[in-house]
Amino acid sequence: QVQLVESGGGLVQAGGSLRLSCAASGNILVINSMGWHRQAPGKQRELVARIMSGGSTNYDETVKGRFTISRDNAKNTVYLQMNSLKPEDTAVYYCKVDLNGSGLKYFEVWGQGTLVTVSA
Protein backbone atom coordinates (compact mmCIF):
# COMPACT_ATOMS: atom_id res chain seq x y z
CA GLN A 1 0.00 0.00 0.00
CA VAL A 2 0.97 3.63 -0.50
CA GLN A 3 0.93 6.43 2.02
CA LEU A 4 1.15 10.17 1.48
CA VAL A 5 2.22 12.49 4.27
CA GLU A 6 1.61 16.21 3.79
CA SER A 7 3.08 19.04 5.80
CA GLY A 8 3.81 22.75 5.62
CA GLY A 9 0.42 24.40 5.91
CA GLY A 10 -0.29 27.18 8.32
CA LEU A 11 -1.30 30.78 8.82
CA VAL A 12 0.56 33.49 6.96
CA GLN A 13 0.09 37.17 6.20
CA ALA A 14 -0.62 38.30 2.66
CA GLY A 15 2.63 38.56 0.76
CA GLY A 16 4.25 35.83 2.81
CA SER A 17 5.50 32.40 1.83
CA LEU A 18 4.92 28.78 2.69
CA ARG A 19 6.42 25.54 1.45
CA LEU A 20 4.27 22.43 1.28
CA SER A 21 5.75 18.94 1.23
CA CYS A 22 4.24 15.60 0.30
CA ALA A 23 6.17 12.38 0.76
CA ALA A 24 5.02 9.13 -0.81
CA SER A 25 6.06 5.78 0.59
CA GLY A 26 5.13 2.14 0.27
CA ASN A 27 4.53 -0.02 -2.78
CA ILE A 28 5.84 2.33 -5.46
CA LEU A 29 7.44 1.22 -8.70
CA VAL A 30 6.93 4.27 -10.90
CA ILE A 31 5.44 7.67 -10.11
CA ASN A 32 3.72 9.10 -13.18
CA SER A 33 2.82 12.49 -11.76
CA MET A 34 2.60 14.37 -8.49
CA GLY A 35 0.48 17.42 -7.96
CA TRP A 36 -1.33 19.77 -5.66
CA HIS A 37 -5.03 20.55 -5.63
CA ARG A 38 -6.86 22.95 -3.38
CA GLN A 39 -10.41 23.41 -2.21
CA ALA A 40 -11.87 26.43 -0.47
CA PRO A 41 -15.21 26.30 1.36
CA GLY A 42 -18.08 26.42 -1.10
CA LYS A 43 -15.78 26.11 -4.09
CA GLN A 44 -14.81 23.34 -6.46
CA ARG A 45 -11.54 21.53 -5.94
CA GLU A 46 -9.04 22.78 -8.49
CA LEU A 47 -5.65 21.77 -9.78
CA VAL A 48 -2.93 24.11 -8.58
CA ALA A 49 0.20 22.53 -10.01
CA ARG A 50 1.42 19.20 -11.32
CA ILE A 51 4.79 17.77 -12.25
CA MET A 52 5.19 14.80 -14.58
CA SER A 53 7.74 12.01 -14.39
CA GLY A 54 9.73 13.67 -17.16
CA GLY A 55 9.88 16.94 -15.26
CA SER A 56 7.34 19.00 -17.17
CA THR A 57 5.00 21.12 -15.08
CA ASN A 58 1.55 22.64 -15.26
CA TYR A 59 0.23 25.54 -13.19
CA ASP A 60 -3.13 27.12 -12.76
CA GLU A 61 -3.03 30.62 -14.20
CA THR A 62 -3.80 32.18 -10.82
CA VAL A 63 -0.55 30.91 -9.30
CA LYS A 64 1.86 31.23 -12.22
CA GLY A 65 4.88 33.28 -11.25
CA ARG A 66 4.15 32.86 -7.54
CA PHE A 67 4.14 29.10 -6.93
CA THR A 68 6.81 26.60 -7.91
CA ILE A 69 6.37 22.83 -7.89
CA SER A 70 9.42 20.61 -7.61
CA ARG A 71 10.28 17.05 -6.71
CA ASP A 72 12.96 14.92 -5.14
CA ASN A 73 12.84 11.63 -7.01
CA ALA A 74 15.10 9.83 -4.54
CA LYS A 75 12.70 10.63 -1.71
CA ASN A 76 9.44 10.35 -3.70
CA THR A 77 8.60 13.80 -2.43
CA VAL A 78 6.92 16.75 -4.11
CA TYR A 79 7.10 20.34 -2.90
CA LEU A 80 5.07 23.44 -3.53
CA GLN A 81 6.85 26.70 -2.82
CA MET A 82 4.21 29.39 -2.45
CA ASN A 83 5.34 33.01 -2.56
CA SER A 84 3.44 36.29 -2.61
CA LEU A 85 0.46 34.59 -1.03
CA LYS A 86 -2.95 36.20 -1.36
CA PRO A 87 -6.10 35.77 0.75
CA GLU A 88 -7.72 34.01 -2.20
CA ASP A 89 -5.09 31.28 -1.87
CA THR A 90 -6.72 30.22 1.39
CA ALA A 91 -7.82 26.60 1.04
CA VAL A 92 -7.11 23.05 2.03
CA TYR A 93 -4.30 21.82 -0.18
CA TYR A 94 -4.28 18.16 -1.18
CA CYS A 95 -1.40 16.21 -2.59
CA LYS A 96 -2.24 13.75 -5.37
CA VAL A 97 0.05 11.07 -6.75
CA ASP A 98 -0.54 8.87 -9.80
CA LEU A 99 1.68 5.82 -9.72
CA ASN A 100 2.26 2.22 -10.68
CA GLY A 101 3.01 -0.28 -7.97
CA SER A 102 4.32 -3.81 -8.19
CA GLY A 103 3.15 -5.56 -11.34
CA LEU A 104 2.52 -2.09 -12.85
CA LYS A 105 -0.80 -1.85 -11.04
CA TYR A 106 -2.13 1.70 -11.26
CA PHE A 107 -2.95 3.72 -8.18
CA GLU A 108 -4.28 7.21 -7.62
CA VAL A 109 -3.58 8.36 -4.07
CA TRP A 110 -4.68 11.50 -2.24
CA GLY A 111 -3.08 13.02 0.81
CA GLN A 112 -4.97 14.04 3.92
CA GLY A 113 -4.85 17.74 3.11
CA THR A 114 -3.10 20.63 4.81
CA LEU A 115 -4.78 23.95 5.56
CA VAL A 116 -3.30 27.17 4.23
CA THR A 117 -4.77 30.38 5.60
CA VAL A 118 -3.68 33.76 4.25
CA SER A 119 -4.80 36.82 6.16
CA ALA A 120 -5.18 40.24 4.58
Q: Quick one: pLDDT at residue 36?
A: 98
Query: What is the DSSP code string of 68-105?
Result: EEEEEGGGTEEEEEE-S--GGG-EEEEEEEEEE-GGG-
Q: What is the pLDDT of residues 34-54, one digit of tens each?
A: 999 999 999 999 999 999 999
Q: Quick one: pLDDT at residue 27?
A: 92
Q: Rounded distance, CA 11 to CA 74, Å?
A: 30
Question: Hey, what amino acid is at 32?
Answer: N
User: CA-based Rg of the chain, rounded to a whole angstrom?
Assistant: 14
Enter the DSSP assignment of 15: T
Q: Quick one: pLDDT at residue 46?
A: 97
Q: Quick one: pLDDT at residue 67?
A: 98
Q: Which residues of the chain have pLDDT under 50?
A: none
Q: Quick one: pLDDT at residue 1?
A: 87
